[in-house]
């Protein structure tokens, strides 16, 4: 009879320990997933900055365009990474538009289309700021 009570107590303690460990581990896993989302956003921002730096090299000789790209690079460099899905979507739009600008610069660095695209990126940056505040 005593053995039955001991087995019952050991089983209850084992189940309690299992659920306690599971609860203690869960927040760490969620925090890890959250930090990975921020990390991927940070990498995307860094990639955009590198993309602009390569555009500055391509635009060498056009001082007006180089200055505009340096301003844009500084704005993007100091963006705060976020896990927010809407912010990530805006960052994706920025990255896509930067790719388009790079293609346009490689075709003709004197094109007025480049400046319109840069204005679009600046608009996306404003949208990103609003999404961060929301």
pTM value is 0.72
For residues 67-79, average pLDDT: 95
What is the pLDDT, as a whole number, of residue 35? Answer: 57
pLDDT at 82 over 80: yes
For residue 36, pLDDT over 70 is answered with no
Residue with tokens 């609003």: 130
Predicted confidence at residue 74, as pLDDT, reads: 95
| Mean pLDDT rounded to a whole number for the chain | 88
Q: Comparing 30-39, 52-61, 88-97, 107-116, which segment has the lowest mean pLDDT?
A: 30-39
Question: What is the dihedral angle through the alpha carbons of 78, 80, 84, 86, rounded to the nearest 10 degrees?
Answer: -20
């Amino acid at each position: 009879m005593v053995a039955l009570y001991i087995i019952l107590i050991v089983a209850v303690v084992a189940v309690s320990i299992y659920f306690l460990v599971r609860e203690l581990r869960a927040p760490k896993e969620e925090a890890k997933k959250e930090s990975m989302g921020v990390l991927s956003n940070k990498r995307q921002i860094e990639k955009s900055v590198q993309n602009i730096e390569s555009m500055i090299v391509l635009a060498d000789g056009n001082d007006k365009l180089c200055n505009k790209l340096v301003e844009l690079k500084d704005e993007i460099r100091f963006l705060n990474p976020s896990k927010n899905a809407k912010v990530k979507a805006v960052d994706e739009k920025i990255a896509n538009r930067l790719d388009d600008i790079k293609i346009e610069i490689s075709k003709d660095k004197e094109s007025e289309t480049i400046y319109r695209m840069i204005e679009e990126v600046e608009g996306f940056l404003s949208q990103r700021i609003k999404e961060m505040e929301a």
